Amino acid sequence: MTNPILSAWNTPFEIAPFTTISDDDFAPALDEAMQAHNAQIDAIAANPDVPTFANTIEALEAAGEQMDKVLSVFFTVAGADSNPKREELQRAFSPKLAAHYARISSNKALFQRVADLWARRDDLDLTDEQTRVLMLSHRGFVRAGAALTGNDDARMQEIKARLASLGTAFTQNLLADERDWFMDLTEEDLQGLPEFVVDAARAAGQEKGADGPVVTLSRSLIVPFLQFSPRRDLRQKAYLAWTARGANGGETDNREIAAEILALREERAKLLGYDSFADYKLETEMARTPDRVHDLLMQVWEPAKTRADADAEMLTQMMQDDGINGPLEGWDWRYYAEKRRKAEHDLDEAALKPYLQLDRMIEASFACANRLFGLEFAPLDVPLYHPDCRAWEVTRNGQHIAVFIGDYFARGSKRSGAWCSAMRGQAKFPKEQAPVVINVCNFAKGDPALLSYDDARTLFHEFGHALHQMLSNVTYESISGTSVARDFVELPSQLYEHWLEVPEVLAEFATHVDTGEPMPQEMLDKVLKAANFDQGFQTVEYVASALVDLAFHDGAAPSDPMAKQAEVLAGIGMPQAIGMRHATPHFAHVFAGDGYSSGYYSYMWSEVMDADAFAAFEEAGGAFDPERARALEENILSTGGSREAEELYLAFRGRLPGVEALLKGRGLIAA
């Protein structure tokens, strides 16, 4: 019987046939796909003909189709709808996949063919895109250790396999801590909470099988609980549990895992001839060096800390006015900041939420994409991996562009956070293929679902990533969509957030859940005026995390990451009542894989550009200026990694921005 993962997907737009795939299909499908991929790689490496771009680079691009099918399905469900079997498979697959790809990157005959092409590149009559793909392929082999020999080569393979296992363990430990902890609430404990928080707590209790409402460690529930609960004792209990994820002792403790990961990364960098892992990692990014990253972060840190310190004084006074003495704590900040926001801006999130329906915000994100890029979205009735998922066909001028899948609600089987991934990337070689793109979020479920303003911003952010995938128009999948420098990949997503704040967008789509009336102009004005509220707090918690990440990787790996974290925070004068956005034991961006290691700063690097890029629209004909939209698509959204990121931005804007645009955008210096 043919494995449904590996058989032809005779489904609309060749979407994965989720309903016919069982967990028992994954392991045999992966084994078969790996064998097929190995045979393809061996054939390329052993080809007796002189290396050409077609018989080597394009052959590599075409290889591994079955692997792509298996891994796209598996990692989609493992991240968004895990279960014990999938967690077990993930633990088994991680070292196996690391060894598989290490075998390819250490194939000396294959690397020699790529190196031969690279040496002869000026004589090969390649297109600019082909030259770029060749360069990236050669660089990728070198950075993976293909030029290593003997013991160094063997040790590199061991390091890669161990890092893969550790990253999986870190992720699963974090998921276990988030899934297993919850705090029961009595009816009395619900007093003072807005209706949307009460509804979310009751829904969470049902999901957990509890007798009543609960608070979980899902950000979409715990943050509003910390904002609105008048019960300081319960806020403290919830906050301490939230910040202790991955550091509770026992089997799910991530602290020793983090230490081993950092040591292995340093060893890996040294094997490749770099002074530190940060030097290795940043070589291919826009920032290039750890010093440039540190300079950016400190330029933002000083004004952000000044603002946060001033805010802390005000919040402490508010707390003392409530008869509570002692210092402002982490479980106090959001509660008193929310009271202050209501007092200063007369903006009550409980009153705002009914105007931010999930469905209407989805419509808003689609409508902006239609006005900017001519995209149209039609619902698709197709089987997906979870009943919460929804799908749309994306077209332009009647032409199929992509399939977009949205998975919006929090659940215990889903890892925390929000992300965008492509189950299939755009490409024209070896055949024309349109992307299948997924946005995964963790919003509180409701009937209907209502979002906070931050939730709505997250929805637009992830949809910006989706547009980067959907509008990609390159030949080779290896450079399509979001296959760009890590500190450039957040530009489209953070830029798209700006359209949520365009008054005409909110006026049309921020409609009341019961009456259908648009958000009153007075409330809309308050929303926009309060957009930068509490930016001292938000910037400090982010920059502190980025500085700790950089310090972990810039120099010798710390044997005790928690001590290093404390040292960095003390050195920058971290305010007592603000925690890192991601403390080390739950810093999945950095420890679940290499993606954002030494690279958590990249959100801020991209924000320097996104503030400047949106200003380009405002300087032209406004947020929907067609010429700027066309320039954005032609120079950034459609180009993937076909050129250097700096070159792409210069083509769009004509210059590179300074940090002032970011500071003004966050309200940290005068506009």
**Active-site residue, from 462, 477, 490, 633:** 462
- Going edge to edge, which strands form the sheet with 390-396? 376-380, 390-396, 399-409, 436-443, 419-424
Pairwise CA distance, residues 193 & 350, whole Å: 9
Residue 378 backbone phi and psi in degrees, to 5: -120, 130
Task: Quote the tokens at residue 88.
Answer: 């077990």
Pairwise CA distance, residues 13 & 158, whole Å: 40
Q: Which residue, chain included where needed, has tokens 């715990």?
A: 222
- What is 351-375 written as a DSSP string? HHGGG-BHHHHHHHHHHHHHHHH--
- Catalytic residue list contains 65: no
Residue 511 contacts residue 355 (beta carbons within 8 Å): yes
Residue 608 CB burial class (10 angstroms; 0-12, 13-18, ≥19): buried
Pairwise CA distance, residues 576 & 305, whole Å: 11
> Which H or E run contains 340?
helix 330-345
Residue 521 CB burial class (10 angstroms; 0-12, 13-18, ≥19): exposed
Which SS3 state, helix, strand or coil, does residue 645 take? helix
Pairwise CA distance, residues 43 & 82, whole Å: 36
Pairwise CA distance, residues 93 & 475, whole Å: 30
- What is 570-622 written as a DSSP string? HHHT--TT---SS-GGG-HHHHSSSTTTTTTTHHHHHHHHHHHHHHHHHHTT-
Pairwise CA distance, residues 659 & 655, whole Å: 13
Catalytic residue ranges: 462
